[in-house]
Structure 1
Amino acid sequence: MSQNTAPLLFELGTEELPPGALKSLQTALVEKIRDGLDRAELTHGALTGYAAPRRLAVQVSEVIIEQADRSFERRGPALASAFDDAGNPTRAAEGFARSCGVSVNALERLETDEGAWLVHRGIEPGQPTASLLPGIIEQALNHLPIPKRMRWGSETLEFVRPVHWVVLLLGDQVVPASFFGVTADRNSQGHRFHHPDPIAITSASTYVEQLHRGHVMVDFAARRASIREQVMAEGERLGGQAMIEDGLLDEVTALVEWPVALSGSFAKDFLRVPAEALISSMQEHQRYFPVKDQQGALLPHFITVANIDSQAPEQVIAGNERVIRPRLADAAFFWDQDRHQALGDRLSSLEQVVFQKSLGSVADKSQRVAQLAEGLADTFGVSATDAKRAGQLSRADLVTEMVGEFPDLQGIMGRYYALESGENPAVAAALDEGYQPRFSGDAIAPSALGQLLAVAERIDTLTGIFAIGKAPTGAKDPFALRRAALGLLRTLIEAERDMDLTAQFTAAASSQPAAVEASKQVSALVDFCLERLRALYHEQGFAAELFEAVRTVIDPNAFSPLDFDRRLRACQAFAQLPAAASLASANKRIRNLLRKAESDAAAAVTQTTVNPAQFEQTAESDLFEAVTHRQATLQSHIDQAQYAQALALLAELKEPVDQFFDQVMVMAEDPAIQKNRLALLHLLQQQFLAIADVSALTESG
């Protein structure tokens, strides 16, 4: 390390921070401090963020201890206004000189092609880094992503949690500063129980090691890895495999400073309850890791992560077993109680549950979904009876005790209760699958009936919410309609269901309450879905030009997401062909020629048919023959949605198209010849436009 640099450490000690926000606060603090150092032109090394339940910290491997001197140039008044006719300085020149702290004679002149001015040039000495750090860190803290700040004690300052200590070291020296009314020093805090005394940080570079001796694993990633390793080992010791969900792992990591994995057990009798209910109890309520056997069946064990290395771990385990027992007992009670009533008998109870005040009850929504599903049965190749029944039961489990206690089990419990009630197993499975995809990256429903229910449910939701004027605006999407639209589109595309979505939005609109005038929103719904498609393809790496090439030609009055997808992927394949760039440019030229002709008053009547007898050049005949020769085969490919094959066929036209433009003057002096050639180009253009606007592919190609 250079003598002109030193490591930097900033630690903010607080009461327990919100576990869900810990990672984002760590990342943001690093970014904001890096930005501040860069703005101050303080050369620095790598920044590392640390986060534990009671602290946020940033360590910089090295930072220059003093700013470099900086040259500056300050422009003053123009020479024309800086001196009078006798060459004496004016008040403007004198005032500028005074503001610079120099005499007029000390000012220099700047002459450019734009004019001449007085300027003051000089060297600004660099400031000590220690004097700049308090401002940099304060700015960083003020701009952290904290949605709701709090006050404490008599302080008027606000932060996410009360602040109790601050460490700010440059090398081994404390930097004078104060944040949130707390003066910075070198004293950090160790583990609340294992090391309750302050820890005097010797140097910014010894922070992690000293905190570790104080029973604090301050590195979030290292602590997370340790928890995963311990939990996996504990699961293997129990003869099974721990179920480690990433979100739960992050949350547990944010709750402990010194993780110690311990396992407990519960009565095997609880295993008669659906595993999902037991898992939800353990994960959501207690933050335990369930354990499954090699076949995937739940074992009567759980793994908890303590924040203490107890000398009596059996007591910690016993305490956790006492806590989980009533939770599991509740789940078992709900399971037993709910099964006393058949799922279908609960439909009347849905009438008392409001879906949305302008759209009626959940019972009303279920009937609308059932009607949509029945109408789509043939499209998905399922029984209309099963489709209607799945729609009717799609929300019946909402009024069960189990879902009332564990809302995340919607659909899952519907499947179990439907089977218990003797419903068709395909219908029961669809009640669960209809929620898929539940989150980003989740798979679509695996069965045809599940896909149908997922589609019908989302169509009704989108139609109804748009009808009442609650479409997403900006970042606000309280009804999660963007996610619903994405799930709808993904299901239709990935399941390869060719369905006219415009027609289905129209059908869904006709069953909404009359007062909401849903039919007026069909066009907006199609546009909304197209924009979600744009975002989906952008995430998948498709060029924007590919999307526009297809969107330009599709009929919004008959919008099929699957057909759109096939066209888009065909365009992507076409863009890779050697002929693509040339044909894209030719189509762009054709488009411009036709537009110019249409705007010409003398050519107001455009010829629509080609007359071969009017050809004057061989290139005209060759192009016409090439186009017409492929026309029947091309149309067959298009009718069968074989767009890649169709574009590959059109790619064969490169040579006759190139020869046509090389040898033929389209805008001939003879109006009849000109219109005939334009008609030929129009015929060629229409063949491409039957698939996509190839002229838009110039950039992407």
Structure 2
Amino acid sequence: MAAVSRPCEGRKHRSTAAEYGCDFSGETADPETDALGASDVHFVRPVHTVTLLLGDKVIPATILGIQSDRVIRGHRFMGEPEFTIDNADQYPEILRERGKVIADYEERKAKIKADAEEAARKIGGNADLSESLLEEVASLVEWPVVLTAKFEEKFLAVPAEALALAGWIAEQIGADVNHATRAGLLSKCDLMTNMVFEFTDTQGVMGMHYARHDGEAEDVAVALNEQYQPRFAGDDLPSNPVACALAIADKMDTLAGIFGIGQHPKGDKDPFALRRAALGVLRIIVEKNLNLDLQTLTEEAVRLYGDKLTNANVVDDVIDFMLGRFRAWYQDEGYTVDTIQAVLARRPTRPADFDARMKAVSHFRTLDAAAALAAANKRVSNILAKSDEVLSDRVNASTLKEPEEIKLAMQVVVLRDKLEPYFTEGRYQDALVELAELREPVDAFFDKVMVMVDDKELRINRLTMLEKLRELFLRVADISLLQ
């Protein structure tokens, strides 16, 4: 508000008042408000009436195309829509009584403060009102009324899903469960601060500083800063186990929740950045070599939502989505599409295990026997797919006739027993190197032995042997998909 004191020669009061009425409207222009009608005058609200009185006399004037009068409009909902004033001295009182509008700003401000303090006193509390809040509210309302409301205390807490999931993950990876749960509790507190509200890039960073200031454990403070990592391709990963647990929990909670209500990404649209979240989870697990399974991880994230989710296939949908992120990631890392497809065909849900298989198959491709064994696996796969025979659980050694099938059957049995610890320990590269030794007996078998013979017992036995051979390779990947 601006006020000007300007001495001038004496005039008749009716003329002076009218002039200053016009001048007042024009000189209070605000460039952030709209012009009124066809005039250049700006005002914060549309002007409907001009009440211009000196004592009990109406001062004739036309302002913004509106003729002055003694008519006043009250509060749109609580007061009388329109009434008249007999004397200028009545203005504050009649506007309050009939219009339900308190004209005086300071009076409104004082009423809000007094009523809020009284409402707080009645429920045994205190009204913590800042001066800036009082000024803002007093400027917004014409007829202030203080109301007392409440909400369930549970809404003050971080969702139980995020807390429980962080603790569960911490237990799986050997991190401090109490610290991970504490980090989950504090994870979004800094979002409510003025600092993060004004400078959104400081989220997490401010959480760390506040936690240190309050004496929280250092790994908790660091976790608050690193919970959003990795934010983009090539970004740093969380540096300690508690931070890893929190970062994975935050991302998996988002994936489970959004997929659980059917809002998965479509086409190029990904408004909730779920692709980034999924890739972040995979990178943390793989590069930190964490013993986590996407199946159990997703099931736990979904379970914590209870009956809130509507998508019955949410677990499979999330896992399929994350495996799809593996495809994009490894392509960016330079792996061939057929190598990725060979591993994806086995649908391994442990990210660290998936990575070990990828490296094993990539190395297998460099071996001399790779192309021949890939072709042989493809041939075996086709033969088995075309057969509708019910196969045996094991190869019957007494039924074997040809030297080539006897030799191959023996090597399959030997390698099956030898490689079992390799598969259990995830030594897939060593396993495929051993399996590469099957090239010669496999080639000899297909050169000398007919599989689909008329003798049913012999045919089923040979098909069973081929199935056992294929099962060995499938313990790592579907080698038949390699080009």
Deviation at residue 515 of structure 1 after TM alignment: 3.3
Deviation at residue 478 of structure 1 after TM alignment: 1.0
Q: Distance in 2 between matches of 1:402 and 1:362?
A: 20
2:471 to 652, 674, 686: 686
Counterpart residue number, 2:458:
673
2:331 to 538, 543, 562: 538
- Whether contact under 8 Å (2:158, 2:185) holds in the other structure is no
**Residue 616 (structure 1) aligned with residue 440 (structure 2):** no
Helix, strand or coil for the counterpart of 1:515? coil
Counterpart residue identity of residue 613, structure 1:
S
The verdict on how the C-alpha distance between 1:455 and 1:685 changes in structure 2, with shifts beyond 3 A counting, is same
Counterpart residue number, 1:561:
351
Counterpart residue identity of residue 400, structure 2:
F
Q: Distance in 1 between matches of 2:417 and 2:190?
A: 54
Q: Distance in 2 between matches of 1:412 and 1:560?
A: 31
Question: Structure 2: 5+ residue runs without aligned partners?
Answer: 1-149
Deviation at residue 509 of structure 1 after TM alignment: 1.3
Counterpart residue number, 1:106:
none
1:573 to 356, 363, 366: 363
Deviation at residue 593 of structure 1 after TM alignment: 0.8
**Residue 383 (structure 1) aligned with residue 176 (structure 2):** yes
Counterpart residue number, 1:512:
305
The verdict on how the C-alpha distance between 1:377 and 1:663 changes in structure 2, with shifts beyond 3 A counting, is same
Give per-residue Cα distances to partners, 1:266-301, cap 9 Å, x unaligned. Answer: xxxxxxxxxxxxxxxxxxxxxxxxxxxxxxxxxxxx
Counterpart residue identity of residue 451, structure 2:
V
Counterpart residue number, 1:626:
411
- Whether contact under 8 Å (2:391, 2:461) holds in the other structure is no
Counterpart residue number, 1:210:
none
Q: Distance in 1 between matches of 2:396 and 2:434?
A: 24
Q: Map 1:106-505 to 2 at 5 A.
A: 363-365=157-159, 367-505=160-298
Deviation at residue 517 of structure 1 after TM alignment: 3.1
- Whether contact under 8 Å (1:512, 1:518) holds in the other structure is no
Deviation at residue 468 of structure 1 after TM alignment: 2.0
Q: Distance in 1 between matches of 2:448 and 2:313?
A: 52
- Whether contact under 8 Å (1:380, 1:449) holds in the other structure is no
Could you tell me the TM-score, scaled by structure 2's length?
0.66
Q: Distance in 2 between matches of 1:480 and 1:445?
A: 19
Q: Distance in 1 between matches of 2:311 and 2:235?
A: 30
Deviation at residue 393 of structure 1 after TM alignment: 0.9
- Whether contact under 8 Å (1:462, 1:484) holds in the other structure is yes
Counterpart residue identity of residue 500, structure 1:
D
Give per-residue Cα distances to partners, 1:298-331, cap 9 Å, x unaligned. Answer: xxxxxxxxxxxxxxxxxxxxxxxxxxxxxxxxxx
Counterpart residue number, 2:447:
662
Counterpart residue identity of residue 401, structure 2:
E
Question: How many percent identity over aligned positions?
Answer: 42
Bigger Rg, which one: 2
Counterpart residue number, 1:527:
320
The verdict on how the C-alpha distance between 1:439 and 1:363 changes in structure 2, with shifts beyond 3 A counting, is farther
Give per-residue Cα distances to partners, 1:141-193, cap 9 Å, x unaligned. Answer: xxxxxxxxxxxxxxxxxxxxxxxxxxxxxxxxxxxxxxxxxxxxxxxxxxxxx
Q: Distance in 1 between matches of 2:195 and 2:269?
A: 31
Counterpart residue number, 2:386:
596
Counterpart residue number, 2:135:
none
Q: Map 1:23-62 to 2 at 5 A.
A: none
Counterpart residue number, 2:91:
none
Helix, strand or coil for the counterpart of 1:652? helix
- Whether contact under 8 Å (1:375, 1:384) holds in the other structure is yes
Deviation at residue 519 of structure 1 after TM alignment: 5.3
Give per-residue Cα distances to partners, 1:551-598, cap 9 Å, x unaligned. Answer: 11225xxx2121111111111111111100000000000011111112
- Whether contact under 8 Å (1:548, 1:696) holds in the other structure is yes
Q: Distance in 2 between matches of 1:455 and 1:633?
A: 37
Q: Distance in 2 between matches of 1:553 and 1:380?
A: 24
Helix, strand or coil for the counterpart of 1:514? coil
Deviation at residue 660 of structure 1 after TM alignment: 0.9
Deviation at residue 438 of structure 1 after TM alignment: 1.6
- Whether contact under 8 Å (1:415, 1:431) holds in the other structure is yes
Higher strand share: 1
The verdict on how the C-alpha distance between 1:496 and 1:608 changes in structure 2, with shifts beyond 3 A counting, is same
Q: Which moved more, 1:461-470 or 1:511-520?
A: 511-520
**Residue 585 (structure 1) aligned with residue 375 (structure 2):** yes
- Whether contact under 8 Å (1:455, 1:488) holds in the other structure is yes
Counterpart residue identity of residue 439, structure 2:
K
Could you tell me the TM-score, scaled by structure 1's length?
0.46
Q: Distance in 2 between matches of 1:462 and 1:424?
A: 28
